[in-house]
Amino acid sequence: QLGPAFGADARRPAGPVLQWVERLLKHTEGAGPSLATTSSSTSYTPAPSSSAVPAPTRRELARSALLALLSTNLDMVGVCLDKCYDADKAVATTYFQVLCEVYSTSSVTIEPHVLLSLIFYKLVDCQPEVREDALHVYHVLCMRAWGTAMPNALP
């Protein structure tokens, strides 16, 4: 069992780690400085190469960091749940998808009525992958909370 990855200050909702993740998610790709720029006025631009490995996008980096953070700090699930309702779609979607992955692969406890409300909210999302994740976590919830497979009433 791993312990918390950060101290209490870094793990709070307005702490530096989650603020950094949120800034990455709210940043539109292609706008502003890239991840490769330095703090000085000069920036490093690698020469084009056919064998160059593309850098991860800011969203991928934020998702990976959030997944690692939540996987090692299961007590932060409440913060993650709240962010699933964020007004910024990129933030809400990423937090929801990370929450689905962590809930499906770990023994984190979430009150069934709280998770069910979130699932119903995400079932009408405009992105098909979010709807699929909602159905998947609904199935996991049914198995954990009630010991039954997903009813056939939902598509």
pLDDT per residue as tens digits for the range 84-123: 999 999 999 999 999 999 999 999 999 999 999 999 999 9
pLDDT per residue as tens digits for the range 48-84: 656 778 888 999 999 999 999 999 889 899 999 999 9
Least confident of 12-26, 27-41, 98-112: 27-41
Angle at which helices 128-141 and 112-122 pack, to 10 degrees? Answer: 160
pLDDT greater than 60 at residue 41 = no
pTM of the model: 0.78
